[in-house]
Structure 1
Amino acid sequence: MTPDANGPQSASARLLELRVGPPPKERADAARNRAAVLDAAARLFAEHGVDAVSMDQVATAAGVGKGTLFRRFGDKSGLAAALLDARERDLQEAILYGPPPLGPGAAADERIRAFVEAYLDYLLEHLDLVRMSETASPGARYRIGSYRFWHRHLAILLDSAPDPDHTAHALLAALSAEHITALLPELGERRLRAGLVRLAEAAR
């Protein structure tokens, strides 16, 4: 990677710009509706699975009109992305400000491994939701703002690799929800995790 003209501080500033921000301020009634929808969706998804729940069911459980739900979230993938926002913010805050090795202060190879482990934990906890948000349309995963954050974080840590940007994309490809969903039944979590850690260690 070509060093940033202004040094590592500029790279960190760019990472700060890419993090998921809190939802914009909204009217009290809109905020109540949003909270009701997200609570209802989280409960229904946990009880029945993401694929089995319709937007109509979410609207009914939340006590809002279908028009309100679709205007606010678009479709079920938009609802999934909204549910994931808070979880993504937590992981991004840990990367930016948390203790090492996930946060600053550890060697790059340690931080890459810590990220892979932490991201896999997040992914396995919300696998169906992440998969839906990533596969809603062709290329959807790469348009999600959080993907740009993960990629930038890894590319900074991989600055000694021949092509840090490509290597970061390749490592994240192994962490896609579709990929993990396909391999998990065959390999099991322990073997899958060990293989991803080896891949992370080889990336530098």
Structure 2
Amino acid sequence: MQLLAEAEVGGLSMAEVAEAAGVGVGTVYRRFGDRAGLLLAVMNHREAELQSAIRVGEPPLGPGAPPADRAVAFLHAYADILEDFGEVMAAAEAKMSGPRRFRTGPYLAHWTHLRDLAQAADHGLDADYLADTLLAPLAAAIFVQQRRADGYDLDRIKAGLRTLAIRLLG
């Protein structure tokens, strides 16, 4: 995992992964198929950790904090995942279209979490719409554009996400 976090998505070889894991390269290929399979496995692991932290983790990401604080913690945690895997996620998002992308898998879990937080904030807001609104800045293609092409640093993006969540839910 550390090797993937430190490497650029396009520059990591299966041989490097095998060496870091102390196994033969054939073992890595049998387990993951190719580099895309390896990255998918790591991303799935990170997503599972995020969802577990939302359900049973410590506040503010986990239960027990005010809705706005939980939303900020979630948005920041997701930005950290995009920092590591934004390019891969942008490519995956580009291949998905229509309702399948937005109402299945991780997006649905994220949307449901933010909708529930918006409902708990109880400001008479349209919680369904608000959940999509809070997730929109975290579309991988937008994140990659801001980080790589526009030169926004991660702190700037997180500050914007915090402002958005606090103003809507705080």
Short-chain TM bin: 0.7 to 0.9
- Check whether the contact 1:133–1:141 (CA below 8 A) recurs between aligned residues: no
170 and 73 in structure 1: CA distance in 2 versus 1, 3 angstrom threshold? farther
Q: Are positions 1:131 and 2:90 aligned together?
A: yes
**What is the Cα-based RMSD across aligned positions, in Å?**
3.4
Instruction: Quote the Cα distance in structure 1 between the aligned partners of 2:87 and 2:103.
Output: 18
Alignment of 1:54-73 (within 5 A): 62-63=25-26
More helix by share: 2
Quick check: 96-105 or 115-124, which moved more?
Answer: 115-124
- Check whether the contact 2:13–2:35 (CA below 8 A) recurs between aligned residues: no
Instruction: Quote the Cα distance in structure 1 between the aligned partners of 2:95 and 2:84.
Output: 19
Instruction: Quote the Cα distance in structure 2 between the aligned partners of 1:190 and 1:46.
Output: 19
Instruction: Quote the Cα distance in structure 1 between the aligned partners of 2:34 and 2:26.
Output: 17
How many equivalent pairs are there?
157
Unpaired runs of 5+ residues, structure 1, are: 1-38
Q: Which runs of 4+ in 1 moved over 6 A?
A: 42-46, 52-55, 72-75
Please name the residue that 1:33 is paired with. Answer: none
CA shift for structure 1 position 134: 1.9
- Superposed CA offset, 1:76-134 (max 9, x none): 4x664333111100111111001111100111111111111111122212222222322
Q: Are positions 1:193 and 2:158 aligned together?
A: yes
Give the aligned residue type for 2:105.
G
Please name the residue that 2:43 is paired with. Answer: 84
Q: Are positions 1:178 and 2:138 aligned together?
A: no
112 and 45 in structure 1: CA distance in 2 versus 1, 3 angstrom threshold? closer
- Superposed CA offset, 1:8-66 (max 9, x none): xxxxxxxxxxxxxxxxxxxxxxxxxxxxxxx9xx968965x4446799xx9xx8538x9
Scaled by the length of structure 2, the TM-score of the pair is: 0.72
- 1:166 pairs with one of 129, 149, 153: 129
Unpaired runs of 5+ residues, structure 2, are: 18-23
Q: Which has the larger radius of gyration?
A: 1
Instruction: Quote the Cα distance in structure 2 between the aligned partners of 1:115 and 1:143.
Output: 18
Instruction: Quote the Cα distance in structure 1 between the aligned partners of 2:34 and 2:96.
Output: 13
130 and 101 in structure 1: CA distance in 2 versus 1, 3 angstrom threshold? same
Instruction: Quote the Cα distance in structure 1 between the aligned partners of 2:90 and 2:40.
Output: 10
Scaled by the length of structure 1, the TM-score of the pair is: 0.62
194 and 123 in structure 1: CA distance in 2 versus 1, 3 angstrom threshold? same
